Amino acid sequence: MILEEHEGSKAVKTHQPCPDCGSSDALSIYDDGHTYCFSCEEVTRDQEMDNVVEYVPKDTGPDKPWSERRISPAVVEYYDVTASDMAVVFPYHNQDGLAVAKKIRHKGKQFSTDGDFKNCTLFGTHTLNKTIGQKSKTIIVTEGEADALAAFQMANLIPSSATSIMKRSQAVTSALSIKSGQASAARDFKNNLELLETFDRVFICLTTNLGHRRQRNSAPSCSGRARRSS
């Protein structure tokens, strides 16, 4: 079912991911800027149209099995992820650092969430409290959970065969992911601004637009904007 109209305005985008319940396609964006999710029925009104124009649905490429992403068992463990080719479970945490929700990626690229997803922080914030070395003043934010793991692995030069992460002598660069795709990225950043502002540099790695989109491989392109947060 697609709600073409809601509160008298017309849908300009349908089948968008919902940042509140984690549905991969239940959100519609209307021409007055408000959004409505017909799964959790949440209405938001602070959507800036600028942010949705270039929205590209995530994961339009083939369904890539986890084993082909070449993410090391060490990094999977570091993020407390449970991964197999059938399903990958990404834990989500609240402001207090408690694991209160999960996003599950099923074979065939179906996503579901479980628990209090709405009140969770960006994916991966729990890793900021792990002590494997001094923290870098740079942080990476990707568009998907798997990309955050890949970015962390690359940025910290962890081999894809690593089974554990030793104490690092170099500063550790953390990698997080937004929760539900670019349509709600602005909101994710706003809700996590206080955290992001503790870093000198925030590298934002979002998927570029469809025309220039490259085949996704295990590593995110990281060609997104870099900005100084202060």
Which tokens is 117 given?
Answer: 């997803």
C-alpha separations of 175 from 21, 26, 153, 229 in Å: 23, 27, 9, 16
Distances, alpha carbon 140 to alpha carbons 11, 33, 76, in Å: 33, 29, 17
**Residue 213 phi/psi, 5° resolution?**
-75, 130
Q: Binding of Zn ion at residue 20 (CB under 5 A)?
A: yes
Size of the site for Zn ion (CB under 5 A): 7
Site for Zn ion contains 120 (CB under 5 A): no
Residue 89 within binding range of Zn ion, rule CB under 5 A: no
Rule CB under 5 A: choose which of 18, 141, 149, 155 binds Zn ion. Answer: 18
Please report how close the Cβ of residue 115 comes to Zn ion at its closest, in angstroms. 14
Confirm or reject binding of residue 100 to Zn ion (CB under 5 A): no
The residue from 12, 40, 132, 219 that contacts Zn ion (CB under 5 A) is 40
| Residue 39 touches Zn ion, criterion: CB under 5 A | yes
Tokens at 101, concatenated: 């929700």
Whose structure tokens read 């890793």?
127
From the list 23-31, 51-59, 135-143, 148-156, the region that binds Zn ion by CB under 5 A is 23-31
Contacts of 124 (CB under 8 A, 6+ apart): 79, 145, 148, 152, 174, 175, 176, 177
Contact segment (CB under 5 A) with Zn ion among 6-14, 37-45, 68-76, 113-121 equals: 37-45
Where does this chain bind Zn ion (CB under 5 A)? Answer: 18, 20-21, 23, 37, 39-40
